[in-house]
Amino acid sequence: MWPDTRVIDLFGIGIPILQSPMAGSSGHEMAAAVSEAGGLGSLPCASRSMEQIRMDIGAVRSRTSKPFNLNFFCHEFNAYDETTEQTWLDNFAPYCDELGVSPELAASGSNLAPFGEEHCQLVEKLSPAVVSFHFGLPAADLVARVKSTGCVVISTANTVEEAVWLAERGCDAIIAQGTEAGGHRGMFLSQTVTEQAGTMALVPQIVDAVQVPVIAAGGIADGRGIAAAFALGASGVQIGTAYLRTGQSLANEMYRARLAAGTDEATVLTNVFSGRAARGFATRLTQDLGPIADTPMAFPMGYGVLAPFKASAEAAGSVEFSSFLAGQAVGLGREGDAGDLTRQLADEAQVQFARLSGR
C-alpha cells in the first residue's frame, strides 16, 4: 500500500504522516486525533510546563493507545546581549503610541524552554514512542538517555550537512525541511536561510547522504505532495499547515481567516517574530523590520517584545503584528476533523500512486 514502509515500521504506525508539533496552535486533541487515525500525532512541549506536558500525555493516552511524538526545542541563549535587545526594542518604539502599548510592556521574554534534565526525566518516566527535537539535538548524554528509554529519536535538517550531523549522532530518522515549510526553520549549522533548499531539491540529496529514513516537510498539503515526497525517496511526510484549519487546531478566528485566504505568495521567512527564522504570513511588521532583520532579537526572546503589540493590534481587529505561522502550501488547506484529514490524505496519496503507474 505504501511504496516505502521504513517510517511506518520505525514508528509502529499505519499512515506515514507526522503531524507537525505547532507550539501554541496544536495540543493534545490534535495529537490524539492524528494518532488514532493511524498517523503520528505530536505534542509540542517547548511552551509547556512539566505539569502541562504530563497532562497532555494523559489526555492523549485517554483517547488512543497508539504511538505519538513529544517535541522539544534544544535552542541556546548564547546570542543574547543587551545592545541587541535595546536596538530591537527601539524598533518598536514608533508603534507604542499607535497601538497604545506602554514602552515598559515591550520587554524581551519567552516561555520556550530548551530540553533539559527535567524533560529527560519525564521522558524516561512516560516513554513516548517518539521524541523529536528542533534546532539540532540536546547534549549527547541526554540523547543517549532518551534513546535508552526505547524512544525513537528524530530531528530536523535544513541542509545535507545538518542531516549527516544528526544521523551521526544517533537520530533514527531525519526530517528534511524544505524552505516551503511553515514555522521555525530547524537550522542549527546553516547560518542563513538564503542558502537553504526547497523540498524538491533537498529531499533526494539528503536521502542520498544518510542511511536512516527521511521524512519530507515543506509544501506538502495533499495526496499529490505526499506522493511527490515518496517519489523523491522520502519514507514519510510531516504536515503542519494543512492541520491548522481543522477542528482540533488551537488557531484563533483571525488566524483561521488568514489561513482560509492564504495564497502561494502570502508567507515569508522572517526572524522578526521570535528572533529565529520562521515562515509565517507577511505583515506590516515583517515588511517594516524584515522579513529577515540583520540584528534580530535573540531567540526566543523576540516573542516577549512582540506580545503586547500583537495583543493590542488583534484587539483592534488587525493582524499586522500577529505571528501567524504557515507554509507555502497554505492555499491547499481545508476544514474538517484532524483524524478524517489524516485518513483523507492517505487515501489521496494512494490515488496518486495508482495514477502514476497508469492503473
The count of chain residues that interact with a second copy, using the rule CB under 8 A, is 57
Is the CB of 53 or the CB of 214 nearer to a second copy? 214
Q: Binding string to a second copy for residues 210 to 239, with x set by CB under 8 A, is what?
A: --------xxxxx-xx-xxxxxxx------
First to last CA, the chain: 14
- Contact assessment for residue 246 and residue 337, using Cβ atoms and an 8 Å cutoff: yes
Binding piece for a second copy, criterion CB under 8 A, among 92-100, 126-134, 177-185, 251-259: 177-185
- Torsions phi, psi for 315 (to 5 deg): -60, -30
Residue in the structure block whose three cell numbers are 526566543: 300
Q: How far is the CB of 17 from a second copy (least distance, A)?
A: 15
With CB under 8 A as the contact rule, the residue among 14, 114, 170, 204 that binds a second copy is 204
Binding piece for a second copy, criterion CB under 8 A, among 51-59, 188-196, 304-312, 338-346: 188-196
Q: How far is the CB of 268 from a second copy (least distance, A)?
A: 5
Binding piece for a second copy, criterion CB under 8 A, among 83-91, 142-150, 156-164, 311-319: 156-164
Is the CB of 33 or the CB of 206 nearer to a second copy? 206
Q: How far is the CB of 197 from a second copy (least distance, A)?
A: 4
- Please give the residues from 265 up to 294 whose contact with a second copy meets the rule CB under 8 A: 265-269, 282, 291
- Contact assessment for residue 50 and residue 23, using Cβ atoms and an 8 Å cutoff: no
Beta-ladder partners of 157: 176
Q: Is 354 in the site for a second copy (CB under 8 A)?
A: yes
- Contact assessment for residue 226 and residue 17, using Cβ atoms and an 8 Å cutoff: yes
- Contact assessment for residue 25 and residue 330, using Cβ atoms and an 8 Å cutoff: no
103 CB neighbour count, 10 Å cutoff = 12
Q: What is the DSSP string of 308-354?
A: HHHHHHHHTT--TT---B--TTGGG---B-HHHHHHHHHHHHHHHHH
194 CB neighbour count, 10 Å cutoff = 9
Q: How far is the CB of 29 from a second copy (least distance, A)?
A: 27
Is the CB of 99 or the CB of 206 nearer to a second copy? 206
H/E stretch holding 97 reads helix 82-99
Using CB under 8 A, list all residues that contact a second copy: 1, 3, 159-161, 178-180, 190, 194-202, 204-205, 208, 218-222, 224-225, 227-233, 263-269, 282, 291, 327-329, 331-332, 352-359
